[in-house]
Amino acid sequence: MPRKTDGIEFEIHPRPTKGEDGKPLLYVRPAKGRKKSFKDLETFCNKYRNLRTGELQMVMDVVMEVVGLWLSDGYRVETPIGSFAPKLKLMGEHTDPKTIHGRDVRYAGIEFIPSKDYDLQRSEARLRQGLSRQPLPG
């Protein structure tokens, strides 16, 4: 059930857990179908930020290659938008640290932690003003 009062469109869904009144607790998430592709990002940056076509893709290719290399070596990589870290999983049940060897540890994905310094206040203000579809100034 999509809703929009101002700014961002969202859907309301019931949780499996119930509240004090016996009714399901609710949660919200962005409305389905609301996504932008990397091509949309490139086009926007080309039009409003004077980046040449392909520049953003070249930068992302290099960043993904180097970040992937560092993650595979076990490093956390901090960026302006947040940090990326390897997720590890311990295979089997262990109670003694001396029994754990490299073969017992598996790579389980990548963890992303958004940066507190990331300028979300500007985004929130733009959403409240209903300006989310207009290009950013400057």
The predicted model gives 109-115 an average pLDDT of 89
* Domain range summary for the chain, segments of one domain joined by +: 1-35, 36-75, 76-120
Task: Count CB atoms within 10 A of the CB of residue 56.
Answer: 19
24 close to 16: Cβ distance less than 8 angstroms: yes
Burial 26-52 (b: 16+ CB within 10 A, else e): eeeeeeeeeeeeeeeebeeeeeeeeee
Task: Answer whether 0.85 is exceeded by the pTM.
Answer: no
- Mean model confidence pLDDT for the chain: 83
When pLDDT is cut at 50, 70 and 90, the band that residue 83 belongs to is very high
pLDDT above 70: percentage of residues in the chain? 79
Q: Is the pLDDT assigned to residue 138 strictly greater than 50? A: no
pLDDT in the model for residue 64: 94
Q: Is the pLDDT assigned to residue 72 strictly greater than 60? A: yes
Residue-wise pLDDT for 40-57, tens only, equals 999 999 999 999 989 999
31 close to 12: Cβ distance less than 8 angstroms: no
Rounded CA Rg of the chain: 21
When pLDDT is cut at 50, 70 and 90, the band that residue 29 belongs to is confident
Q: List, in sequence order, every beta strand (DSSP E) within 1-138.
A: 2-3, 10-18, 24-30, 77-79, 82-90, 105-114
Question: Taken in order 88, 79, 61, 35, is the CA torsion positive or negative?
Answer: positive
